[in-house]
Structure 1
Amino acid sequence: MCQLLGLNCATPTDASFSFTGFCQRGGNTGEHADGWGIAFFEGRGLRLFVDHQSAARSPMAEFLQKYPLKSKNIIAHVRKATIGEVALENAHPFTRELWGRHWVFAHNGDLKDYFPPLHSHFRPIGSTDSERAFCWLMQELSKSHASLPSTEELTLTLRELVPQVRHFGSFNFLLSNGEALWAHCSTKLHYLVRQHPFALATLMDHDWTVNFADLNHPGDRAAVIVTTPLTHNETWTAFEPDELKVFVDGLPVLEKTA
């Protein structure tokens, strides 16, 4: 299985601490060595980095750990290939345009015999079940809304769509349009909110402790969503099976079961 990492923040935040620990799972402390990627929203722009090399060995991943980029919405992924060969086009996150916005998607799980009907605007480039699911979600969202709806409306539509994909297998995913971050758990996903008063955090997969009180202001806040907790001295909350959460400005603002 792959692993997911997402950050949704009240103010632009760098992910270097979480990303450094997360990368170790891409071939060092974990077996997810079949590619990686990370996407940073900057306003309506997007910076996307993907690689078919393991995150623990990739020079690009090492560069990003040392040259942090700040964003309010970040999605990262380390891959253990199950469906689709190890190739650059199969590295998550995937991106598409809808309603004049970038959308970013990363998936952890296996969807068996999943080949949904897709029209010409949303078609996969690679050979993963994950990209097919993303294309189908984008296609169905575009059918359901003529223009960009509110976050609440999008969440309600996703609640109707997600079970149709979930029927084919495990479907843990992160999805963002730069304004909100949706997280769905079918098997395993955790989150925490870092906010004032900030405290120490120590990575599980790397020898690094940070005092977030030294790095943040009282108005800063970040929700961190990950497959398996990244730190051993913070309180992580497990998602319920088939739970969909949406995060805005560093908080879970709407919680529904899909």
Structure 2
Amino acid sequence: MCQLLGLNCATPTDATFSFTGFCQRGGATDHHADGWGIAFFEGKGLRLFIDHESAAASPVAAFLRGYPLKSRNIIAHVRKATVGEVCLENAHPFTRELWGRHWVFAHNGDLKDYHPKLHSHFLPVGSTDSERAFCWLMQELAKSHASVPSVAELTLTLRELVPQISRLGTFNFLLSNGDALWAHCSTKLHWLIRQHPFQAATLMDEDWTVDFADINQAGDRVAVIVTTPLTRNEQWAAFAPGELKVFVDGQPVG
């Protein structure tokens, strides 16, 4: 299985602290060494970095840990391959365009023999069940709305679509269009909110403590979503199996 990391923020925020601990799970403290990736939304733009090497050893990941990029929506992934070979086109997150916006998706799980009927506009580049599921979701969202829907409307549609995939296997995922971040739990996913008054946090996978009170303002707020808690001294909440949450401006809204 893979691991997921997502940040949804009220103000542009860097993921250096969380990403540093998360990378160690890509081959150092855990066995998810079959590729990694991270996507940063910046307005309508998107910075995407993917690699088929392990995150713990990747020079690209090391560069990003030392070069903070600020964003309001960030999705990262470390892969343990189950369906599809270890190669660049199978590295998450995946991206597609819909309604003139970038969409980003990363999946943790296994959908055996999953081959949905796909139309020509949304087709997979690689060979993973994850990318096929993403293409199907994009296809069905496009079919369900004639114009750009609100976050609330998108959430309602996703609540109808997601069970059609999750009944076929394990379907933990993160999805964002730059306005919101949707997180679905099939088996395991955790979340927390960092906000004023900020506290210190210590990573589980790296010897690093940060006092967020020293680097944040009163209006800053960050929702962190991850497969397994990243820190040892913060209160993480577990998703319920089958739960879909949507985060906007660093807090859950549905």
- Counterpart Cα distance in 1 of 2:146 and 2:198: 42
Return the TM-score normalized by structure 1: 0.98
Match for residue 244 of structure 1? 244
| CA deviation after TM superposition for structure 1 residue 146, in Å | 1.1
> 1:2–1:80: 8 Å Cα contact kept in structure 2?
yes
> 1:99–1:147: 8 Å Cα contact kept in structure 2?
yes
Cα offsets for 1:100-126 (capped at 9, x unmatched): 000000000000110000000000000
Cα offsets for 1:194-237 (capped at 9, x unmatched): 00000000000000000000000000000000000000000000
Match for residue 172 of structure 2? 172
- Counterpart Cα distance in 1 of 2:179 and 2:151: 8
Match for residue 253 of structure 1? 253
Match for residue 45 of structure 1? 45
CA RMSD of aligned residues (A): 0.3
Could you tell me which amino acid in structure 2 is paired with residue 108 of structure 1?
N
Q: Does 1:16 align with 2:22?
A: no
Match for residue 161 of structure 1? 161
- Counterpart Cα distance in 2 of 1:75 and 1:176: 8
Identity, in percent, stands at 82
- Counterpart Cα distance in 1 of 2:215 and 2:109: 35
> Gaps spanning 5+ residues in structure 2: where?
none
Match for residue 131 of structure 2? 131
Q: Secondary structure at the match of 1:228?
A: coil
- Counterpart Cα distance in 2 of 1:131 and 1:68: 28
Q: Secondary structure at the match of 1:140?
A: helix
| CA deviation after TM superposition for structure 1 residue 81, in Å | 0.2
* Structure 1 ranges of 4+ moved more than 4 A: none
| CA deviation after TM superposition for structure 1 residue 70, in Å | 0.1
Could you tell me which amino acid in structure 2 is paired with residue 29 of structure 1?
T
Cα offsets for 1:21-49 (capped at 9, x unmatched): 00000000010000000000000000000
Could you tell me which amino acid in structure 2 is paired with residue 7 of structure 1?
L
> 1:137–1:161: 8 Å Cα contact kept in structure 2?
yes
Could you tell me which amino acid in structure 1 is paired with residue 220 of structure 2?
D
> 1:113–1:168: 8 Å Cα contact kept in structure 2?
no
- Counterpart Cα distance in 2 of 1:239 and 1:220: 24
Q: Secondary structure at the match of 1:5?
A: strand
Q: Secondary structure at the match of 1:231?
A: coil
Match for residue 121 of structure 1? 121
- Counterpart Cα distance in 1 of 2:39 and 2:228: 19
Could you tell me which amino acid in structure 2 is paired with residue 84 of structure 1?
G
Q: Secondary structure at the match of 1:205?
A: coil
Could you tell me which amino acid in structure 2 is paired with residue 26 of structure 1?
G
Q: How does 1:92-103 map to 2 (within 5 A)?
A: 92-103=92-103
Match for residue 214 of structure 1? 214
- Counterpart Cα distance in 2 of 1:253 and 1:192: 14
Could you tell me which amino acid in structure 1 is paired with residue 145 of structure 2?
H
| CA deviation after TM superposition for structure 1 residue 148, in Å | 1.2
Match for residue 66 of structure 1? 66
| CA deviation after TM superposition for structure 1 residue 147, in Å | 1.4
- Counterpart Cα distance in 2 of 1:4 and 1:147: 30
Match for residue 27 of structure 1? 27
- Counterpart Cα distance in 1 of 2:127 and 2:206: 33
Q: Secondary structure at the match of 2:38?
A: strand
Could you tell me which amino acid in structure 2 is paired with residue 231 of structure 1?
T
Match for residue 225 of structure 1? 225
Q: Secondary structure at the match of 1:61?
A: helix
> Gaps spanning 5+ residues in structure 1: where?
none
Cα offsets for 1:31-72 (capped at 9, x unmatched): 000000000000000000000000000000000000010000
- Counterpart Cα distance in 1 of 2:129 and 2:70: 30
Could you tell me which amino acid in structure 2 is paired with residue 186 of structure 1?
S
Could you tell me which amino acid in structure 2 is paired with residue 197 of structure 1?
P
